[in-house]
Chain A
Amino acid sequence: MRLDIKVNAYRKPLETAGTLVHGRRKKWSTEFWMLLPSMILLAVISIFPFLYMIYASFMDYSLSFDEPTFNGMKNWEKVLTNDTFWASWGRTAVYALCGLSLEMLIGVGMALLIYVLPKARNLILTLWMIPLFVAPVVVGLLGRFLLNSTYGLYAWLFRLIGVETEILGNVSTALPAIILMDVWEWTPLITMIVFAGLQSLPEEVLEAAEVDGAGYVRRLIHVIFPLISRTILLALLIRMMDILRFVDTIKITTEGGPADSTKVIGYHLMEVAFRFQDFGSAAALGLSMLVVTIFLGQQFVRFMRKGEE
């Protein structure tokens, strides 16, 4: 009898094998029980908050009231007709656009550079990725320290070339400075992703192109870029979603100022929720962020699945 089951188990695909070894068909498999706790926890932390946010966005909801009261579309109206809302999204877009272009340019460039340097490859890559591990709070503190107009190292370097300014306290330079901090911290990630893509390129193809007499630039444009374009796009999507999440460094460096010049959408939300305690509007605001993120996330997953097939 036992032997029978074993022979059967060997022939059947794994899914049924698990249930057959136990001698009877089970309605819920081992895997179901393995996944269940995670699913419950994820539901508690994602579905419930999501529904709650929809609910709160239709409520006059503040900590100073005992009970939230229904106020229809008022929060949405308040959020959508608010200039700060659109300006914050605009700044987020500028942030994403400028930050991402720089990160892509430097990140991909560094990946290609490290790829053609055979000797010091590992050393350069290791040192280059150190900023990735620096906590956003520390990035903010460092930014403030290095750019301080009287004793900052970078401000001192600027003075050497004759530029003297309070960089983080200036409306026109605060956002660029924040963007550069982001570029500093996250460009290595792009490099790592693209470098991984380069390493998985089929060598025969590259060699064939070289044998055919294509110069480096031509190989780059006609062979390398087309092959790693998917990887580059994925890196772009990941960073785009991350930029939406970004708040910490701004909180430390400028608190959204001066004159709102660094107030991105995430920071605006934090302010509406926790400084003004207007949870209803904050919920509507948060939903606007979720919509954008979910759209980006869908693209991300679509891209990944295309690669698997």
Chain B
Amino acid sequence: MAPRVRKIAMYLVLYSIAGIALLWALLPVLWMLLSSLKTQAGMFSMPPKFIFKPNFDTFAYMFSERGNFTHFLTNSVIASGVSTGISLVLGTLGGFALARRKFKGEKHISFWIISTRMAPIPAVLLPLYLMFSKMGLIGTMTGLIFAYTTLNLPFALWMMMIFFKEVPVDLEEAAMIDGCSRFQAFWRVVIPPAAPGLVATGILCLMFAWNDFLFASVFSGHENQTIPVAATLLITQQGIAWGQAMATGTVIITPMVIAGLIVRKYLVRGLSMGAVK
């Protein structure tokens, strides 16, 4: 009997530790969600209230004409969506080429790709800023999309290369013997098995662009501010509009949490650039 009791006690301890860890991980997010649903007075009441009647005024205001939130949301969707699309198309084509073909200096090319992804953004930002201002791209949507693509393309290339390496070469060889061209074989035979990887790469690209603040704060003008930038506009000399800030935060993270959990299986590979299987 004793070993059994010891085992139960051990699991009890382990589950409690996990519980505490989860509390630490989730409390801030939960608190943000709750705060966005509270009235102004309820938000600041001490001791804090966990049970209350939800109030959707903040969200209603944000999406009203004065809140202008739809505008920011549209900008975010366009900037991150278009740049993800470009990165995916180019990254899929290039990633396949990298996966299949032996190049001269292949190692240098792949190191170069990874270094563009890992380069410190503040350092990259500066020459891009100078380049963009010469080209008149500061404050334009094109500039922002271009900037996000610079961030996402190397990532997409690397990820797709890894996913394509897992598709057996025999498949294409068979298709080509049946009369497909190289590209047809790629399109009809290689893409379908790599599709889940494609979706995962896309979602991660989307997340990087959607969550970005630095590029958007430097490159975007008044007309094309994204939601993270809009969130910082709530920080003023007079203080922070906390109700709106929490509601904005909730809107920023909700789609990404859902999308991220969908591609959970690929997440590790994505965030570590395929380092670990």
Contacts and interface: CB of A to CB of B under 8 A. Distances in A.
Interface of A: 6, 9-10, 14-15, 17-18, 21-22, 29-32, 34-35, 37-39, 41-42, 45-46, 48-50, 52-53, 56, 106, 110, 113-114, 116-117, 120, 124, 126-138, 141-142, 144-146, 150-151, 153, 156, 184, 188-189, 192-193, 195-197, 200, 231, 234-235, 238, 241, 244-245, 247-248, 251-252, 266-267, 269-270, 273-274, 279, 282-283, 285-287, 289-290, 293-294, 296-298, 300-301, 303-305
Contacts of A156: 46-48
Contact of B249 (A14, A138, A251): A138
Contacts of B221: none
B252 A38 contact: no
A129 B264 contact: yes
Contacts of B27: 153
B31 A132 contact: no
A286 B119 CA distance: 10
B211 interface: yes
Interface range for B: 35 or more
Interface stretch (B52-60, B65-73, B94-102, B194-202): B94-102
A1 to B, nearest CB: 14
A14 B100 contact: yes
Interface of B: 11, 14-15, 17-18, 21-22, 24-29, 31-32, 35, 43-44, 46-48, 90-91, 93-94, 96-98, 100-102, 107, 109-116, 118-131, 149-150, 153-154, 157, 169, 172-173, 176-177, 181-183, 186, 207, 210-211, 213-214, 217-218, 228, 231-232, 235, 240, 242, 245-246, 249, 252-253, 256-257, 259-261, 264, 267-268, 271-273, 275-277
Contacts of A285: 123
Give the dominant DSSP class at B's interface. Answer: helix
**Residue picked from B35, B94, B120, B154, most chain A C-beta under 10 Å:** B120
Given A18-B182, A135-B253, A136-B211, A126 B120 contact: no
Contact of B101 (A15, A42, A110, A279): A15
Contacts of A290: 119-120, 123
B245 A301 contact: no
Nearest to B228: A137
A279 B130 CA distance: 9
Contacts of A106: 21
A137 B213 contact: yes
A197 B276 contact: yes
**Residue picked from A46, A117, A189, most chain B C-beta under 10 Å:** A46
Contacts of A235: 272, 276
Contacts of A110: 18, 21
Contact of B123 (A32, A39, A41, A287): A287
Contact of A151 (B43, B93, B253): B43
Given A127-B25, A193-B268, A269-B123, A300 B173 contact: no
Nearest to B24: A184
A57 B84 CA distance: 33
A301 B112 CA distance: 10
A29 B276 contact: no
A289 B28 CA distance: 32
B275 to A, nearest CB: 5
Contact of A196 (B118, B150, B276): B276
Given A126-B264, A128-B21, A193-B268, A35 B127 contact: no
B25 A252 contact: no
The 7 closest A-B pairs by CB, nearest first: A49-B127, A286-B123, A38-B94, A135-B211, A31-B97, A34-B93, A35-B97
A300 B277 contact: no
A71 to B, nearest CB: 17
A68 B93 CA distance: 40
A234 B231 contact: no
Contact of B122 (A39, A136, A266): A266
Contact of B150 (A45, A150, A153, A200): A45
A18 B184 CA distance: 11
B118 A241 contact: yes
Contact of A294 (B26, B115, B181, B259): B115
A3 to B, nearest CB: 11
Contacts of B90: 37-38, 41
Contacts of A283: 126-127
